[in-house]
Amino acid sequence: MRILVFGHSGQVATELRALAGADIDIATLDRDAANLMDPAACADAIAAHAPDAVINAAAYTAVDNAEDDEETAHQINAIAPAAMAQACAARDIPFVTISTDYVFSGDGTDPWAPTDPTGPKGAYGRTKLAGEDAVVAAGGRYAILRTSWVVSAHGKNFVKTMLRLGAEKEALTIVDDQIGGPTGAAEIAQACVTIAQGLARDPSLSGIYHFAGGPDTSWTDFAREIFAQAGLPCAVTDIPSSEFKQRATRPLNSRMDCTLTTTAFGIARPEWRESLKTILHQLQNQT
C-alpha cells in the first residue's frame, strides 16, 4: 500500500516514516511540499502522488495560541482536512485523520464514546470538530481517530518536558484533576496504517473512532511514573487545574472509550507504561 502522509517532522508523522517497508510505502509532506494554508495545494498533492490511502498527521496543536489565532487554526484543522477528504472521496481512497479529546466538554467522569455529544470549550477543540464535520460531509472512505496526551521521543511533549524539569529541579507541582490516557505516537501511527488498510478492504468501516493509552491516569501519576522509570528523584505535589493558569481550558475528563476501535479493526488499547519504557529507551539511544 502506498500511503501519503500530511506532516513530516511531527510526532505521529515521524513514527509513520519509521513504518515504511516492503509492504508499505510511506511518503510524507512537509510544509514546503504541502501548504496547509492552501487547500488547493493539499488536493493537488494527492492528485500528484496518486496514493492508495492518505493519513493526515498535520495539525495546529498550539492549544493556547489558538485562542488568539483561531482563524489560522481553523484553516489548518478544518479547511485543509476538508480539501484532503474531498480529494480522497473523488478517488475512492481511504482518508484517515487524527483528532482529539478536546472536541468534548471534558465534564463528568465516564469515558467518552465516539457517539457522545461534542462540546468543545476552546478554539482548538472547535477547529478540530469543524474538521471532523467536514471530513464526514465529504462522503468518502474515512476514519477520524480521536486520541489524547500524545507522547514520543520526538518533538515537544509531556515526557520530554518532565525529563528536563525533573533533572533540573528537586520538586514540581503538577495538576492532578485532569484524567486521561497517555498515548504513544508510535502506537497512533500503527493504528492509522491498520485503519487505512481496513478501510481499503471495507468502506463500511468509515466512522469516528477513539484510541488512547490505558489505564486512565492523572498528569501527576504520569509524571511520577516517568520519574520512576527514568530514575529521577523529583518529588511531585498535586495541585488542581485552577492553580495552574493557562490561556485555554484543558478538559478535566479525557477518558476515551476505545471499544469500537478494537471491535472494528482489532486494535487493542496500548498500555502507556510500556509505551513510556520504549520512549525512554529511544531517548537514551539518542544521547
Q: Catalytic amino acids?
A: 124
Distance CA 118, CA 120 (A): 6
Angle made by CA atoms 237, 238, 239, in degrees to the nearest 5 = 120
Query: Identity (one letter) of the amino acid at 225?
Result: E
Return all residues near 282 (Cβ < 8 A) that are at least 6 apart.
153
Over the range 200-224, which residues count as b (16 or more CB within 10 Å of their CB) and which as e?
Answer: beeeebbebbbbbbbebbbbbebbb
Return all residues near 44 (Cβ < 8 A) that are at least 6 apart.
none
Dihedral sign of CA atoms 144, 88, 4, 197 in order: positive
- Sequence length of the chain is 287
Distance CA 113, CA 209 (A): 8
